[in-house]
Amino acid sequence: MTNTERPARTRFAPSPTGYVHIGSMRTVIFEWLWARHTGGQFVLRIEDTDRNRYVEGAEDQLKESIRRMGLMWDEGPDVGGPFAPYKQSERLDLYHRHADELLAKGHLYKCWCTPERLKQVNEEKQARKEPPGYDRHCRNLSPEERAELEASGKQYVIRLAVPLEGETIVNDLIRGPITFQNALQNDMVMLKSDGFPTYHFAVVVDDHEMQITHAMRADEWIATSPLHVMLYQFFGWEQPVWVHLPNVLGADGKKLSKRHGDTAITDYLDKGYLPEALLNFLALIGWGYDETTEIMTRDELIERFTLDRISPSGGVLNLEKLNKFNGIYIRQLSTAELTERLLPYLADAGLVGAEPSAAERARIEELVPLIQERLVVLSEAPDLLRLVFTAPDSYDHALLIPKKLDASTTQQALHAATAALRELPSWEVAVIEARLRSLTEELGLKVGDLFMALRVAATGSKVSPPLFETMHALGREETLTRLERAIASLGAVGTAA
């Protein structure tokens, strides 16, 4: 067994600063798949140490988003685990203990510089056209100066004493070794004056403490990853496997952002993209099993997901492909299951009650096959089904009257159809269709013309679920009532003219 095949411990470590971006959900999917593939654990850790960026409710929203995708963490908030707590704000003692260790070894140092001084240093650097960054003033204090500041009780932060020479290599699994010059790194803050660690310090301590084997994360973290590697080296800890994931890009090849449209995973779920379709679709952004296989079940993805197939370059979020996937997954659902998933949308649109009755459910189940073939997202269902549910209030004659006919010839044709339908021995789809087809010939009309007039008469719209199925679902009485109303509406035109 190679190292990467041992049960992996992966983690998603979001800062609760807002909604879950679809690109972050792709990260979750890769982490979850890798944990499942290797028979390991997927950990959720809340990185809430930046109190200024903390957004109330964001933590619940992100947990909800992951749950709605049908993914669950094995350890983390709500479910606990051997390394609890899984929220960084509840682990402050741990960071302080570890900071003390590195302070004693001289790898961290206290810095009493005020924000005003730091600002001035940066302004001066800017004037000299030097990159911004701390000038290491407090790293170079004399023992007396340091003792004096210690005694003063002034606020301080704790910084990383970056080695001044040499280089740090980040061995990224996807990109290979990446070399960073230490002289270009900053003495970043590790513990802030409020006693909270910064992300850089907490992520290293926690990944180590929680025995994370693979640090999988967005590739924007590559730039600061040498600081993390230095911390592992200072502590003498084994590093996790670094896996920086390719970006999710918009159609223009730029990193996906609000400019491109929806970016929150909940926007997609709310529209009625199925979690299983999104899972399959997102798994293929930056990863692939082979050149051709696209549709894969969750179990197939787990079985096939390996890190060596992650590509270093970004993958484009192709909405057309997502629509195609969603359609495929919708058609795979049983009628009962699709009904179940549609009910919340129909309830929102007021087509069924918030707690649909058994009769409502049965009625929807009867109608669902009418739209299953053409549904792209679940949220389209109310508009498609409304035609069936509610009789048209009025008729647009421009739609009702076929191009080659006029009001009175349309009226006659609809009359003939009504009479023919009334006499049918049964109300089966095939029987309705056969009779209306033969009627077209009897009347000397074009199939398209008569059927369009019937479609508009039955539903009020030129776009509707298949005509004969719709008539069947409406039932004979309702169909005839609607046709008669359409005829009556044409009569009014005739009289007016």
- At 152, the amino acid letter reads S
Does 368 contact ligand GLU by CB under 6 A? no
Binders of ligand GLU among 38-57, rule CB under 6 A?
47
Pairing relationship of beta strands 214-218 and 241-245 according to DSSP bridges: parallel
- The least distance separating ligand GLU from the CB of residue 31, rounded to whole angstroms, comes to 9
Taking the least distance from each CB to ligand GLU, the nearer of 92 and 424 is 92
123-152 core/surface letters (b: 16 or more CB in 10 A; e: else): eeeeeeeeeeebbbebbebeeeeeeebeee
Taking the least distance from each CB to ligand GLU, the nearer of 64 and 150 is 64
Query: Which residue's entry shows tokens 């069947």?
Result: 472
Does 402 contact ligand GLU by CB under 6 A? no
Taking the least distance from each CB to ligand GLU, the nearer of 47 and 449 is 47
Does 217 contact ligand GLU by CB under 6 A? yes
Taking the least distance from each CB to ligand GLU, the nearer of 111 and 245 is 245
- The least distance separating ligand GLU from the CB of residue 39, rounded to whole angstroms, comes to 22
Does 203 contact ligand GLU by CB under 6 A? yes
Taking the least distance from each CB to ligand GLU, the nearer of 47 and 75 is 47
Question: DSSP assignment of 73-104, as one string?
Answer: -SBBTTTB-TT---BGGG-HHHHHHHHHHHHH
Binders of ligand GLU among 67-86, rule CB under 6 A?
none
- The least distance separating ligand GLU from the CB of residue 367, rounded to whole angstroms, comes to 44
CB 36 within 8 A of CB 304: no
Q: Which residue is nearest to ligand GLU (CB)?
A: 217
Tell me the Ramachandran region of residue 142: left when phi exceeds 0, alpha when psi lies from -120 to 50, beta otherwise.
Answer: beta
- The least distance separating ligand GLU from the CB of residue 250, rounded to whole angstroms, comes to 20
Return d(Cα 114, Cα 134) in angstroms, integer.
Answer: 12
- The least distance separating ligand GLU from the CB of residue 36, rounded to whole angstroms, comes to 19
- Listed ranges 13-21, 116-124, 326-334, 380-388: which one lies at the site for ligand GLU (CB under 6 A): 13-21
SS3 396: coil
154 labelled catalytic:
no
CA distances 218 to 14, 31, 314, 405, Å, are 11, 11, 11, 62
Taking the least distance from each CB to ligand GLU, the nearer of 217 and 455 is 217
CB 8 within 8 A of CB 163: no
Binders of ligand GLU among 161-200, rule CB under 6 A?
199
Does 13 contact ligand GLU by CB under 6 A? yes
- The least distance separating ligand GLU from the CB of residue 221, rounded to whole angstroms, comes to 6
What sign results for the dihedral spanned by CA atoms 272, 277, 283, 288? negative
Does 256 contact ligand GLU by CB under 6 A? no
Q: Binder to ligand GLU among 8, 14, 41, 339 (CB under 6 A)? A: 14
Q: Binder to ligand GLU among 8, 9, 15, 160 (CB under 6 A)? A: 15
Taking the least distance from each CB to ligand GLU, the nearer of 265 and 367 is 265
- At 237, the amino acid letter reads W
Please provide residue 230's backbone torsions phi and psi, each rounded to the nearest 5 degrees. -60, -45
How many residues form the binding site for ligand GLU (CB under 6 A)?
8
DSSP state of 61: H
- Sequence-distant (≥ 6) Cβ neighbours of residue 129 within 8 angstroms: none
Taking the least distance from each CB to ligand GLU, the nearer of 46 and 436 is 46
- Listed ranges 11-19, 133-141, 240-248, 288-296: which one lies at the site for ligand GLU (CB under 6 A): 11-19
- The least distance separating ligand GLU from the CB of residue 53, rounded to whole angstroms, comes to 10
Query: Which residue's entry shows tokens 């058994």?
Result: 358
**Which x/- pattern, by CB under 6 A, does the window 427-446 give for ligand GLU?**
--------------------
Q: Say how many C-beta atoms besides its own lie within 10 A of residue 238's C-beta.
A: 9
- Listed ranges 7-15, 129-137, 256-264, 284-292: which one lies at the site for ligand GLU (CB under 6 A): 7-15
- HSE (side-chain half, CA atoms, 13 Å) at 240: 24
Q: Where are the beta strands (DSSP E) in 241-303?
A: 241-245, 248-249
Q: Binder to ligand GLU among 221, 235, 289, 427 (CB under 6 A)? A: 221
- Listed ranges 9-17, 113-121, 357-365, 429-437: which one lies at the site for ligand GLU (CB under 6 A): 9-17
Return d(Cα 38, Cα 183) in angstroms, integer.
Answer: 39
- The least distance separating ligand GLU from the CB of residue 15, rounded to whole angstroms, comes to 4
Which of these is catalytic: 258, 324, 446, 462?
258
Binders of ligand GLU among 108-137, rule CB under 6 A?
none
Does 206 contact ligand GLU by CB under 6 A? no
Return d(Cα 237, Cα 211) in angstroms, integer.
Answer: 11
- The least distance separating ligand GLU from the CB of residue 428, rounded to whole angstroms, comes to 58
CA distances 176 to 3, 284, 286, 350, Å, are 16, 22, 17, 56
- Whole-angstrom distance between the N-terminal and C-terminal Cα of the chain? 87
Report the catalytic residues: 258
Q: Which residues make up the interface to ligand GLU (CB under 6 A)?
A: 13-15, 47, 199, 203, 217, 221
